Amino acid sequence: MATVGSASLLVAFALAVYATLAAPFAGLRRDRRLTASAANAVIASFAATLVAAAALLIALARHDFSIGIVADTTSRSLPTGYVLSAFWASQPGSLLLWLTVLGGASTVVMLTNRHRNRELMPWVTAVLGGIMVFFSAMAAFVSPPFASTAGGTPANGFGLDPSLQNPYMVAHPPTLYMGYVSLAVPFAFAMAALVTGRTDARWLVAVRRWTLFSWTCLGVGMLLGAHWAYVEIGWGGYWAWDPVENAALMPWLAATAFLHSVMVQEKKGMLKVWNMVLVSIAFSLSLLGTFLTRSGVVNSIHAFVQSDVGIYLLGFIAVVIVLATALIIWRLPLLRSEHRLESIVSREATFLFNNLLLLALAFTILWGVLFPVLSEAVRDVRSTVSTPYYNFFLVAFGLPLLLLIGVGPLIAWRRASLGSLAKTFRWPAMSALAAAALLALLGLGSSPAGLAAISLCVFVTITIGLEFARGTAARRAISGGSWPGALVALIGRNRRRYGGYIVHLAIVLLVLGVTASGAYSTVREATLSPGDSMGVDGYTLTFLGFGKETGPNSTTTLARLDVSKGGSHVTTLSPGRRFYPVEGRVTNEVAIRTSVTGTDLYTILQAISADGRSVQIKTLVNPMVGLIWLAGAVFLLGALITIWPDPREARQIARRYAAALAREA
Amino acid sequence: MSSAAAAIAVALLVGAAVVAVAWPFLSPDRGRPEDRLSEADRTRIDLLERRDAAYAALRDLEQDHRTGKVTGEDYTAEREELRREAAAVLRMLDDLDSKHDTAHREA
């Protein structure tokens, strides 16, 4: 298997090199056969990568411990699902996953553009091929997944990091990688548009759906990761501003900015340079995310992998930035705006402010991630940037962003008069102020930022509700029919707008969940012997005694806790400490009870006394944390509505080109 | 997997890759002629894009008016301005077509 896998990677590399060299010639000579040949090379390179990936999966399934990463990340007792997900638990395996996803995305681009974007495609092929060259070179020569186990084949493997033995770790890394990697597609189209001078809206139409796909995958991937941290890491939180979490958040913020500014270019012919810059930043940040995850330069709960690919990745990021900057500067004359900003009270202005805030947040986070590394490099002192730094900027930039989410949809394009603003924002503003007063009366003023965030959530919810109500009424006035029918027709006829509003609702749910669980949570710790009780936020937890649970590769000691409220039994929770003999590690296994309002009673068995009689229990009550996971579902729904293809748009573009070419005929 | 089987698998993979890359040169050319856009085409596409953007802006304005975001006077003024913009683009498209037709006749 190792021979076939290694040879396949060499074939994938050779084909990617051919595609990268042949495609520019094809573009310059307008040679359609050479273009098709380069595209086929990309597809064949993906096929060869798939063979390598299949070889690794077979080696994992067969417990072929002669291969280093199989021995390092699996064992015979590891459940089959985790044996297969160990594919991406190692550095070489995760690079192979990067290459596989990149090959898959590139293949879809080649197949769906065989008869479209003909001027752009040779250059798109060259850029995607170039990225494939880099990653296949890493997989074939620098960090080979089929390298032999040092010191001979062991009888059993060393097992998988217990924190990765969680169902979320089967889905989280591939989803996140699909997000990172597919950002290469918008970047490739942007570079192709610059090379060919075709900076009109066509490249935007070609990439908008890809950017939405990347952005959705990154968003869902981050939420899957947050849920994994919540249920697996066992400290009671879901986001720790860990550098690797930040690595996914930064490109997501840049992609969010792009998805908004692209509308300004389409509607007003403005922000053309800005959009090129945003696409380049988003892709560079996705590469940086890979660098942070794979180089081991940062301290992180995820930094389980260290190797020498970091320096190559850093060099590649530099090449990408230099290439993109040079092309943008070269094509500046073609990227002039067709209109000027007419008023700062307009929808395009709110999009511009939202872009600035999103980028400011992304670069603030970037500084927080890089500062410890730079500090160590320059002063030889490892500094840390802790949670208060990130929280400060999240509030400073996040609250105005939340306000803009509410303002944007209700403000007209070009300019809005004060009269219409007063009329439009009367009810949302009054509702937000009433909510703030009510929350203060209820004693929730202890966190001013939390109070402001919840009031703004009310403001945004009312604005979105009004948008749907007014839009549905207008639709019904035009076409008649029932209210639900008019609502469906409204969304169907303008999926981007109303899908976007649903995503905004998801952001509201997310903010509510994060604010409530962050600003108003309760924590208690106690040492309990059997029969002892502790109280937390109205709940009484009584330690009943120990339990035991045996898994295929672990044994768990459980602390059985009776949970009651007001004298009535609510549930029994059993947090535990799980021992993995092969890995030689012990992990906390938390127990959670979620109420109908999404509030979690979260219990952790922190320690068992040396005499085995008492336990140290940490209990948290996290209000409304369930809204965060609900936000994930709503986000996905909104994103899918937005991504769903609109044939009218494609027809309009096709008509433009047909009309232009028809004059020549 | 034996060495011989591995060698055969790799040979098959390389062979398939070579065929895939060479196929466009070996197969009969049934494709449509390459799209070639002249400078006039590009200008025309730009103008068509501006025309479509003006139409879209008018549609947005209608929607904003119906949902109460733009009041009566603002709406009338905006609509007139957008119509003027669309008309200007349409005139430029007509000029371009006339120039093209003249050049075509002279040729």
% of chain A surpassing 70 pLDDT: 95
Report the residue of B1, B3, B13 to disrupt the A interface, i.e. the one with the largest count of A CBs within 10 Å.
Answer: B13
In a domain, A360, yes or no: no
User: Considering only alpha carbons, which residue of chain B is nearest residue A660?
Assistant: B41
CA dist A568 → A565, A591, A596, A620 (Å): 5, 20, 17, 20
Structure tokens at A632: 């994930």
Query: CA–CA separation, A401 vs A485, rounded Å?
Result: 33
Distance from CA of A5 to the nearest CA of B (A): 9
Of A7, A115, A470, the CB nearest to B67: A470
Confidence (pLDDT) at A25: 93
pLDDT digits (tens, 9 = 90+) for A585-621: 898 899 999 998 889 999 999 999 988 889 999 999 9
Distance from CA of A505 to the nearest CA of B (A): 20
pTM of the model: 0.89
Q: Inspect the interface and report whether the beta carbons of B6 and A7 lie closer than 8 Å.
A: yes
CB contacts of B9 in chain A (<8 Å) are 4
Report CA torsion sign: A325, A329, A334, A340: positive
* CA A294 to centroid of chain Cα atoms: 17
Distance from CA of A22 to the nearest CA of B (A): 11
- Nearest C-alpha neighbor of A142 from the set A312, A262, A272: A312
Q: Inspect the interface and report whether the beta carbons of B69 and A661 lie closer than 8 Å.
A: no
Residue A635 exposed, middle or buried by CB count within 10 Å (0-12, 13-18, 19+): buried
Stretch (H or E) spanning A604: strand A600-608
* Structural domain ending residue among the three candidates A116, A137, A160: A160
Of A119, A412, A477, the CB nearest to B69: A412
CB contacts of A268 in chain B (<8 Å) are 53
User: Considering only alpha carbons, which residue of chain B is nearest residue A11?
Assistant: B14
- Nearest C-alpha neighbor of A106 from the set A86, A134, A89, A126: A126
Confidence (pLDDT) at A649: 66
* Mean pLDDT score, A259-273: 85
Confidence (pLDDT) at A139: 93
* Structural domain ending residue among the three candidates A117, A143, A160: A160
- How crowded is residue A312: how many other Cβ atoms within 10 Å of its Cβ? 17
% of chain A surpassing 90 pLDDT: 58
Banded pLDDT at B33 (limits 50, 70, 90) = very low
Query: CA–CA separation, A573 vs A602, rounded Å?
Result: 9
User: Considering only alpha carbons, which residue of chain A is nearest residue B43?
Assistant: A660
Length of chain A counted residue by residue: 665
User: Considering only alpha carbons, which residue of chain A is nearest residue B7?
Assistant: A4
Report the residue of A118, A264, A339 to disrupt the B interface, i.e. the one with the largest count of B CBs within 10 Å.
Answer: A118
pLDDT at A661 over 70: no
Distance from CA of B29 to the nearest CA of A (A): 8
Domain count, chain A: 2
Confidence (pLDDT) at A631: 96
% of chain B surpassing 70 pLDDT: 83
Residue, of B71 and A228, whose pLDDT is higher: A228
Beta A600-608 vs A591-594: how paired, if at all? antiparallel
Q: What's the half-sphere exposure (Cβ side, CA atoms, 13 Å) at A188? A: 29
* Mean pLDDT score, B63-70: 77
Confidence (pLDDT) at A304: 44
Confidence (pLDDT) at A503: 96
Structure tokens at A602: 């979260």
Q: Inspect the interface and report whether the beta carbons of B48 and A656 lie closer than 8 Å.
A: yes
Confidence (pLDDT) at B29: 63
Cβ–Cβ pairs < 8 A, chains A and B: 146
CB contacts of A338 in chain B (<8 Å) are 50
Distance from CA of A621 to the nearest CA of B (A): 43
pLDDT digits (tens, 9 = 90+) for A445-456: 778 888 999 999
Confidence (pLDDT) at A298: 64
In a domain, A496, yes or no: no
Banded pLDDT at A650 (limits 50, 70, 90) = low
Q: Inspect the interface and report whether the beta carbons of B45 and A200 lie closer than 8 Å.
A: yes
pLDDT digits (tens, 9 = 90+) for A189-231: 999 999 998 887 778 877 888 999 999 999 999 999 999 999 8
Structure tokens at A174: 């591939």
Stretch (H or E) spanning A600: strand A600-608
In a domain, A441, yes or no: no
pLDDT at A463 over 50: yes
In a domain, A327, yes or no: no
Strand partners of residue A578? A556, A587
Q: Inspect the interface and report whether the beta carbons of B21 and A36 lie closer than 8 Å.
A: no
Contact A20, A137 (CB under 8 A): no
Confidence (pLDDT) at A127: 97
Confidence (pLDDT) at A461: 95
Confidence (pLDDT) at A263: 87
Q: What's the half-sphere exposure (Cβ side, CA atoms, 13 Å) at A238? A: 24
In a domain, A468, yes or no: no
Q: Dihedrals φ, ψ of A144, to 5°?
A: -70, 130
In a domain, A299, yes or no: no
Residue A526: which domain range? Answer: 522-622
Confidence (pLDDT) at A541: 95
* CA A172 to centroid of chain Cα atoms: 9
Q: Dihedrals φ, ψ of A529, to 5°?
A: -100, 165
pLDDT at A658 over 70: no
In a domain, A227, yes or no: no
Contact A469, A501 (CB under 8 A): no
* Mean pLDDT score, A501-529: 93
Of A47, A267, A424, the CB nearest to B56: A267
Q: Flag the least confident range among A329-338, A542-551, B40-49, B81-90.
A: B40-49
Q: Inspect the interface and report whether the beta carbons of B69 and A420 lie closer than 8 Å.
A: yes
pLDDT at A520 over 90: no
Report the residue of A11, A487, A496 to disrupt the B interface, i.e. the one with the largest count of B CBs within 10 Å.
Answer: A11
Query: CA–CA separation, A71 vs A147, rounded Å?
Result: 11
pLDDT at A178 over 70: yes
CB contacts of B16 in chain A (<8 Å) are 44, 47
Beta A522-528 vs A615-622: how paired, if at all? antiparallel
A452-472: buried (b, 16+ CB within 10 Å) or exposed (e) per residue? bbbbbbbbbbbbbebbbebbb
Report CA torsion sign: A506, A507, A513, A516: negative
Q: Dihedrals φ, ψ of A201, to 5°?
A: -75, -5
Q: Flag the least confident range among A61-75, A597-611, A631-645, B30-44.
A: B30-44
Listed as own residue / partner, the contacts of A419-428 with beta carbons closer than 8 Å and 24 or more positions apart are A419/B71, A420/B68, A420/B69, A420/B70, A420/B71, A420/B74, A421/A345, A423/B68, A423/B71, A424/B68, A424/B69, A425/A463, A427/A462, A427/A466, A428/A459, A428/A460, A428/A462, A428/A463, A428/A466
CA dist B98 → A662, B91, B92 (Å): 14, 10, 10
Of A43, A266, A657, the CB nearest to B20: A43
* CA A208 to centroid of chain Cα atoms: 17
Q: Inspect the interface and report whether the beta carbons of A410 and B69 lie closer than 8 Å.
A: yes
* Structural domain ending residue among the three candidates A99, A129, A160: A160
Contact A291, A250 (CB under 8 A): no
Contact A239, A245 (CB under 8 A): yes
Q: Inspect the interface and report whether the beta carbons of A424 and B60 lie closer than 8 Å.
A: no
In a domain, A540, yes or no: yes
Contact A222, A176 (CB under 8 A): yes
pLDDT at A665 over 70: no
Residue, of A364 and B73, whose pLDDT is higher: A364
Confidence (pLDDT) at A191: 96
